[in-house]
Amino acid sequence: MATRTILSPGVSIIERDLSLIAPQNVGTNIFIAGYASQGPTDEVLKITSRDELLQIYGTPSNSAERYFYHGVRELLNSPASIYTSRLPYGAAAGSGFGSNYSALVYPTLAYTSAASMSAGGTDFTAASATYVLGEPVQMVLTEDEYFQAQEGSLFTWSSQGTNQAGLSALSQIGKAGLVVLNKAQTTINSQFEGYYIGVADNTGINPNSLHNSIIGAKSVSLSSDIIGLTNGYTDIPTGTLQFNLSSGVGYSASISQVMENLTDYNIDGREDDDVLNVGVFKLRKSLYATAAYKLDYVLEDRMVGSVDSYRTQLNPLGGPSVSFFLESADTNSRNVEILVNPYISNKYSTTSLDANGIPSKKFRVLTNALIASNDVTKSGVPTASLSAIAAKIGYADNLYPLGAYSDSSLTTKLLGSIPSKLERALEAVKNDEIYDIDVVVEAGLGTIYCATEELGTTFYDDTVIVPSMSALQTSNDLDGTGQNIRANYSTVFNVFENFCNLPSNTGGRGDCVVIADPIRHIMIKGKNTKTLSDRSTNFQQHIYWAIRHQFELENTSYAAVYGNWAQVYDEFLGDKIWVPFSSVAGATFARNDAAEFPWSAPAGYTRGLVSGNVVNIAITPNQKQRDELYKSNINPVLFSPSQGMAIFGQKTLSRKPSSFDRINVRRLFLALERPTKKASIFYVFEPNNEFTRTRFINTLTPIFEYAKNNNGLYDYLIVCDERNNTPEVIDANELKCDIYIKSVRTAEFIIVTFTSTRTDANFQELIG
C-alpha cells in the first residue's frame, strides 16, 4: 500500500516501478589465451578484426604463437565477441613476474601544532591530527616474509612514526602510516614496463582546479632489496610517455585527472578529509604509437576509502551500510593489498568522526601542489610546516613502481609455467559483472605443456616428434610415462575446468563451458604427417585409446572435446599447418547461437558445418569409429564429399547418464541461469512476502517462456510461495525459488525401419 507523505488534505503522487525485465543473453562471448610475438601481456583485449589482431599481437613466429593467432582468426570468421589475453614469455610466471613480493612503505608524520613538529611529528596517538604521507620506500619480500606481513608477524605496528631515512629494514615497516603490498609478484623490466601505484587525497577533486596530484613517474633500474634511500628511484623521461601526467583546469586527459576521479560520487568535502584514492596503473608499450618507443597506461585497479577503520558508506545494492575502510577496498584487487597503521585507523580506539560526520583526523598526500596552494584550511598544516615535513619524508606526487626490477627479456621465448600463467589470465575475466563469457577455448595449451614437459625444453616446436607420447597408445593401463603425460595435460585442463565450473564446486564462474583439445601428437606426427597415414597404425589403438586415456579421468558437464585437429593455410609460412580444433568448434558455437539459440545443438549438417579457413582434418572416422569416440564422450568430426566437414556429436565430458551429458542441455541451463541471477539481485533486501515473491516469478517467467517457445524446453515450473518459503526459511532471511525444467532432447539417432508386407495387408492394422 502507498504511504501518505502529506499532513494536510491534498493529493500526493507516488511512483513504484514494477516493470523490472530480466536481461536476455545477447551474442556469444569467447575467451582465448595464448602466446604472441608482441602486444600487452596480463591484459584482456577485445579483438574485432584481423587487422587489429596483427597490429596488436604481431606476426606469429613459432608454433605456440600460430596456435593463438589462428585460433583468434577462426573465431573472427564467426559472429562471436572475442576476448583475448597474451601469456607472457619468461621462466616460471613469466616476464613481468618474479619469485619475490614487494611493499611500498609510505613514511608518515603527524601535525597537531607547531610544537608537535618540533618534536618530530612522529606521535600517532593524538585524537585529532593531520597525517602527511611522503615518498614511499620500496622493500623486496620473500614469499615467507609476504605471508608474515599479511598475518602481522613480520613487523609490529608502532604508535611512533619516522621519517623516510628511518625505514631502512623490514622490522621498521610498522613505523609507516600506509603500506601497499604487491601480492601479484609483478616486476619492472628494463623498459620501465610494469605496474605502478598512485595515491591522492581529496584536496584536488574540484574540477575547476588544476589536475596535478601526479607530476612524475618513478621507476627502478637496478636490483636492490630497498629502493628509495641509498639506491634511489629512476625518473621515467616524460618523452617516453604517450600520456600526460598532469593537466590544466577542465577535463584534459591525464593520470592526475584519473586519480582525482576514481569515484562516481563527490568526495571533496570536509567529511572526506580522511579519504585516500589509490590507483594501480599498468605501463606498457603503446599499441598505436608512431614513435620508436612509447609507454601507454591502463588503469588496472581503483581503490577509494577512509583511513578510519570505523567508516561506512551506503550499500549501492541497498540494505545495511558497508565498510568504507581503505583496507576493505582492495578485496577485488588481484594486484595489491593495503595496510593502514592501526594507530592512525583508530583500530585501538573509536572513530574520529564528530557528531557532524567530520573526521578529526585528516590525511594528506604531500605534493608540490599542496604546498603551492598555501591553503591551511584545505591542507590542515601551515605552509612552513609542510615544507619542513617535505625535507623529512619527501614528496609523494609521483607514480611509484609496484614490484622490483627484473632484467628479463621476451626474446628468449621461454614458455615458463603455462598453468600459472593461464590461471592469472583467467582470473582477469573471472568477474561476471564485467565480462560475459560463454565459451573458453583451450587453443592447444595442453598440447604445448605436455610436449615441452616430455622433451624437457623451454620452447615449443610442433614439428618435433615426441616419442614418449606413444605411451598413450595402448589398450592396457597406462605405465608411468603415460600417467605422467595425462597428469601434465590434466594440470592445464583443470585450470580451465575450475574456471568454468560452479563457484560452490571450484570457485569458478559457473556460467560458461570450455572446449578442450586432444594432444596434437596423437593425430599428427612431425610437421605434416597424419598418424593414420602410416599403414602400421590403426584407429583403435593409436587414436581411440590415446584420446580415451587422455580424458578418462575428467568428469564434468562444463567441458566438451572434439576429436580432431584442423589444417589451415598460414600466409606467413606460405604453407599449410595444423592447429587445435577448439577454436573451430568455438566459432561453430557462435554461428549456431546467431542462427538459432544457445540451446540448439551445435552439430550436424544444419548447424555443425565447419567453415572458415579449415582445409583438412586429421582423421575422418567412419560410423564404427565415431561410435567408439562417442561412447567415450569425444565428439567426432567427419568429412563428407557432398556436405563437407561437420561436427557430429554434442556430448560433454560428464560421465553420469543425465541430461547434462549433452551440450545443448548444459548451455540451456547456463542461458537461463545467467539472466535469472542478474534479475534476482534486484530482489535482495526486498520484503519476503507474497507480493515480492509474485513479482519475482513474474520477472523470471518471460525468460523461461522464451526458451519454451523456441525449442529450448518442453515445460517448466517456478515455485516461489509458501510451499518452499516456510516460516523457518523466512526467519532465516532467505527467499527460495525452485525451478523445474523439462529440457528438450535432440534427435541424435535416426532409426528408419523398412517393412515388407503382403499385397492385401491393412496398414492401419499393422501400425495399430
**Tens-place pLDDT, residues 399-435:** 999 988 876 544 457 899 999 999 999 999 998 888 9
What does the pLDDT read at residue 209? 74
> Among 401, 424, 448, where does a domain finish?
401
| Mean pLDDT within 575-584 | 94
Task: Indicate the pairing of strand 101-106 with strand 178-182.
Answer: antiparallel
Is the confidence at residue 11, as pLDDT, over 90?
A: no
Strand, helix or coil at 302?
A: strand
SS3 content of the chain, % helix, strand, coil (to 5): 30, 20, 45
According to DSSP, the β-strands at 637-640 and 81-86 are unpaired
Query: Which of 401, 433, 466 marks a domain boundary?
Result: 401
Note every long-range contact of 391-394, with CB atoms under 8 Å and residues 24 or more positions apart, other chains counting: 392/107, 392/109, 392/121, 392/134, 392/163, 392/164, 393/107, 393/108, 393/109, 393/132, 393/133, 393/134, 393/135, 393/163, 393/164, 393/366, 394/107, 394/134, 394/135, 394/164, 394/366
- Asked if the structure places residue 573 within a domain, the reply is yes
The C-alpha cell of 316 is what?
A: 549501492
- Check whether 206 has a pLDDT greater than 90: no
Pair (392, 422) in one structural domain = no
226: enclosing H helix or E strand: strand 226-227
Residues 268 and 128 in one domain: yes
Instruction: Identify which of 261, 107, 270 has the alpha carbon closest to the alpha carbon of residue 173.
Output: 107
* Residue 18 placed within a domain: no
Strands 361-365 and 178-182: unpaired
In this prediction, residue 759 has a pLDDT band, given cuts at 50, 70 and 90, of confident
Helix (H, G, I), strand (E, B), or coil: what is residue 562?
Answer: strand
Pairing type for strands 44-47 and 81-86 reads antiparallel
Please tell me the total count of domains within the chain.
3
Look at residue 548 and tell me if it is in a domain: yes
CA distance 696 to 610: 42
DSSP 3-state assignment of 223? coil
Between 21 and 705, the more confident residue is: 705
Domain annotation covers residue 9: no
User: Beta partners for 34?
Assistant: 86
Full residue range of the structural domain in which residue 725 is found: 674-768
Give pLDDT, residue 407. 63
**Dihedral sign, Cα of residue 182, residue 185, residue 188, residue 193:** negative
Question: Residues 452, 502: one domain?
Answer: yes
- pLDDT per residue as tens digits for the range 617-670: 999 999 999 999 999 999 999 998 888 899 999 999 999 888 899 999 999 999
Residue 49 and residue 72 in one domain: yes
pLDDT digits (tens, 9 = 90+) for 73-123: 999 999 999 999 999 988 777 767 766 789 999 999 999 888 888 778 889
Which of 592, 622, 652 is the C-terminal boundary of a domain? Answer: 652
Whole-number percent of the chain with pLDDT over 90: 56
- Let me know: does 393 contact 132? Beta carbons within 8 Å: yes
CB of 262 within 8 A of CB of 302?
yes
Total number of residues shown for the chain: 768
Q: Are residues 212 and 358 in the same domain?
A: yes
- List the one residue out of 618, 127, 151, 202 whose CA is nearest residue 354: 127
Count other C-beta atoms under 10 Å from residue 535's C-beta: 6
pLDDT at 496 over 90: yes
Does the structure show a pLDDT above 60 at 379? Answer: yes
In terms of C-beta density within 10 A (0-12 exposed, 13-18 middle, 19 or more buried), how is residue 490 classed? middle
Q: Are residues 76 and 113 in the same domain?
A: no
49: exposed, middle or buried (Cβ count in 10 Å: 0-12, 13-18, 19+): exposed
Paired strand residues for 276 = 305
pLDDT at 353: 85
Helices (H) then strands (E): counts for the chain: 22, 31
Kindly state the cell numbers that stand for 743. 529440457
In a domain, 6, yes or no: no
In angstroms, the CA 448 to CA 74 distance is 19
- Residue 60: HSE in the Cβ half-sphere, 13 Å Cα cutoff: 24
Compute the mean pLDDT over every residue in the chain, rounded to the nearest whole number: 88
Q: What is the pLDDT of residue 410?
A: 42
Over residues 559-573, mean pLDDT: 93
Q: Are residues 352 and 388 in the same domain?
A: yes
The cell for 739 is: 525451478
Over residues 285-301, the mean pLDDT reads 77
On whether both 464 and 519 belong to a single domain, the answer is yes
Strands 178-182 and 137-141: unpaired
List, for residues 717-754, the tens digit of each pLDDT value. 999 999 999 999 999 999 999 999 888 877 766 677 66
Averaged over 593-621, what is the pLDDT? 91
- C-alpha R_g of the chain: 31
At residue 411, the pLDDT reads: 42
Q: What are the tens digits of pLDDT across the range 363-377? A: 999 999 888 887 888
pLDDT given at position 66: 94
Is residue 22 in a domain? no
Lowest model confidence (mean pLDDT) among 10-14, 112-116, 202-206: 10-14
Joined grid coordinates for residue 711: 525449442
Whole-model pTM over 0.85: no
Q: Is the pLDDT reported for residue 293 higher than 90?
A: no
**Residue 680: its H or E element:** helix 663-680
Same domain, yes or no: 521 and 639: yes
Claim to verify: residue 110 and residue 76 sit in the same structural domain: no
User: Per the domain annotation, does 215 fall within a domain?
Assistant: yes
**Is the pLDDT reported for residue 316 higher than 80?**
no
Q: 317 in a domain, yes or no?
A: yes
Percent of the chain's residues with pLDDT above 70: 93
Q: pLDDT band at residue 325, thresholds of 50, 70 and 90?
A: very high
* Separation CA 282–CA 197 (nearest Å): 9
Q: What is the mean pLDDT of residues 292-318?
A: 85
Cα-to-chain-centroid distance, residue 270:
36
Which whole-number Å values give the CA distances from 280 to 258, 304, 524, in the listed order? 11, 12, 45
CATH of the domain at 471: 3.40.50.11780
Find the angle CA(335)-CA(337)-CA(342) to the nearest 5 degrees.
Answer: 165
Distance CA 670, CA 679 (A): 14
Both 218 and 146 in a single domain? yes
H-helix or E-strand spanning residue 418 = helix 418-427
Residues 87 and 113 in one domain: no
Angle at 464 between CA 459 and CA 470, to 5 degrees: 110
